[in-house]
Amino acid sequence: MSEREKMETGQWYDANYDEELLAMRQKAQGLAKEYNDCLLEDPQQKEAFLRQIFGYFGNNSQLLAPFYVDYGFNVSIGDDCFINYSAYFMDGAPISIGDHCFIGPFCGFYTAQHHLQIKKRNQGLERALPITVGANCWLGANVSVMPGVSIGSGAVIGAGSVVTKDIPNNALAVGVPAKVVRYIDQDEDLAD
């Protein structure tokens, strides 16, 4: 079994020294750098460029440069999303962001786990677990989403939070680690 196959099935794999994975990361990171360095004005040109990098990049979605990615093909961004500056997608496993999501600046999606044992960690072993963000979510600035986490549709994650466990639909979660502080009634009138 190749290191890529191990990565894609959630097993421990050689992330640091496998030539196939290194080449894939270099290609994706090169494309991301090219996007970050160019000044594309036309939204359709931006979408077309991002579709070369990501597994799926939705219609009418925006991703502000700069952004960072490991492989790109494991990232799926839904329709009508807005992703602010300096997003990081550590996508050894799939990262799925639903339609109509707002992602604040400096948010990170981290699928990789390094081994706890020094000897294995120093061999470059890691494994990757998928991340899912449901539709209509809002993640404030500097939110970190950790490996294996699912965030339910309609959830709001407060700025600076570290999401280490699943968050239910329509929950407001804040803190380090993020904890649900209340549920959002989508029919409630929250005017000023």
CATH of 3-183, one of 3.40.50.300, 3.40.720.10, 2.160.10.10, 2.40.50.100: 2.160.10.10
Which regions in the chain score pLDDT beneath 50?
A: none
> Does 100 qualify as catalytic in the annotation?
no
Q: What is the pLDDT of residues 104-143, one digit of tens each?
A: 999 999 999 998 999 988 988 999 999 999 999 999 999 9
Q: Which of 4, 27, 114, 179 does the annotation list as catalytic?
A: 114
- Check: pTM over 0.85? Answer yes or no: yes
* Inter-residue long-range contacts of 30-37, CB under 8 Å, 24+ positions, other chains counted: 31/72, 32/66, 32/67, 32/68, 32/69, 32/72, 35/65, 35/67, 36/65, 36/66, 36/67
Give dist(CA 44, CA 66) in Å, integer: 18
For 156, which DSSP code? E
Between CA 103 and CA 106, with CA 104 as vertex, the angle to 5 degrees is 110
* Inter-residue long-range contacts of 123-126, CB under 8 Å, 24+ positions, other chains counted: 123/14, 124/14, 124/15, 124/16, 124/17, 125/12, 125/13, 125/14, 125/15, 126/12, 126/13, 126/15, 126/92
What pLDDT, on a 0 to 100 scale, did the predictor assign at position 186? Answer: 82
